[in-house]
Amino acid sequence: MTTDGVRASTQMVGILGWPVRHSLSPVMHNSEFRRLGLDYVYLAWEVAPEFLEQAARGLRALGAVGYNVTIPHKQAIVTCLDELSAEAKMIGAVNVVCLKDGRAIGYNTDAAGWRDDIEQDIPLAGRSLFLIGAGGAARAVAVGACLAGVRRIVICNRRYETAEALAEILHHHFPKLQVECGGPTSGECHQRIRECEVIVNATPVGMAGHGGSPIPAEWLAPTHYVYDTVYTPAETPLLRAARERGCKTRNGIGMLVRQGARAFRLW
Ligand code: NAP
């Protein structure tokens, strides 16, 4: 990358993470800024947790237009902001910050980015979702699914208490939703997955270096639609097992691009 085109007038956006050197966001956003002839530059800032508040204040002082927030800062950044969007409040995490008129406003575009992506293949209204994971990505998927009108969510997570905490949040915001929890080794989850049309993995299991499938391959049936939020490798062990059993599948690259497109429009 060269700095050609960066001038005194160039507006600054970027991403705060720890680590962040692997992020695809700078390439994605800078190529879009260039394509559209916009005088913006997107940088990656590796910020340790103890410096997050200072970094957020510094970006405000420097007049940045906004920034993305990624692991591990998506929840901690909330205390550095003046206002949250309705979705960010429900999810309890922020992945986009806009700095405008001296105020810092937090958004979560993961939920809508995921929904935009999956609904290319399958409308979610009235469906039953089998959700693997209960962390930040799973919360975004769950809220996105509820806003799209799913009828039921089965949360299958390694630690039961995290699944229960997510179930409580969903009960609070979506009282009509049917929510159940279980673990990936439980007979209950095996039974319930048969009653679900859509399966989503929102854990890192299957990522390069985190091999394996988050649920046994035998749980999959050809009637399942399987979405993996992981996108490296492009076909995770879960997606391969699903394809081999005749399921329709999609990985998380579209979610990444679509949450980024929404951030781009906000800035
Ligand atoms: P997180 O908040 O740390 O949550 C991780 C979740 O995965 C928790 O539910 C955790 O279970 C579970 N988990 C972690 N390691 C596990 C293991 N070895 N076996 C079983 N479960 C395990 O992380 P996150 O922000 O939700 O991100 C999760 C993944 O989502 C990321 O790795 C990334 O691949 C993907 N993601 C994709 C996009 C996209 O745009 N495509 C965006 C965000 C995230 P416990 O509660 O039991 O610890």
Position 177: which residue type? L
CA distances from 199 to 24, 32, 61, 96 (A): 26, 32, 44, 26
Task: Look at residue 4 and tell me whether its pLDDT is greater than 90.
Answer: no
Atom of ligand 1 nearest to the CA of 202: 30
Q: Residue 133 C-alpha to ligand 1 middle, in angstroms?
A: 6
Task: Look at residue 3 and tell me whether its pLDDT is greater than 70.
Answer: no
Question: Which residue is it, tokens 């693997």?
Answer: 132
Atom of ligand 1 nearest to the CA of 184: 20
Task: Look at residue 210 and tell me whether its pLDDT is greater than 90.
Answer: no
CA distances from 130 to 3, 22, 52 (A): 46, 29, 34
**pLDDT tens figures, 30-52:** 999 999 999 999 999 999 999 99
Q: What is the pTM of this model?
A: 0.93
Looking from the CA of 146 toward its CB, the CA atoms found within 13 Å total 23
- Average pLDDT over every residue of 166-171: 97
- Average pLDDT over every residue of 100-107: 96
**Mean pLDDT, all residues of the chain:** 95
Question: Residues near ligand 1 with C-beta < 6 Å?
Answer: 71, 110, 133-138, 157-159, 162, 202-205, 207, 214, 229-231, 252, 255-256, 259
**pLDDT tens figures, 211-249:** 899 999 999 999 999 999 999 999 999 999 999 999 999
Which pLDDT does position 5 carry in this prediction?
83
- Average pLDDT over every residue of 174-180: 97
* Active site (catalytic) residues: 74
Give CA–CA dist 242/222, Å, rounded: 8
Question: Which residue is it, tokens 């091999």?
Answer: 211
Q: Are the C-beta atoms of 132 and 199 separated by less than 8 Å? A: yes
- Average pLDDT over every residue of 95-118: 97
Which pLDDT does position 208 carry in this prediction?
85
User: Of 158, 205, 227, 258, which is best to mutate to test ligand 1, by the most ligand atoms within 8 angstroms of its C-beta?
Assistant: 158
Which pLDDT does position 94 carry in this prediction?
97
Q: Is 60 exposed, middle or buried (0-12, 13-18, 19+ CB in 10 A)?
A: middle
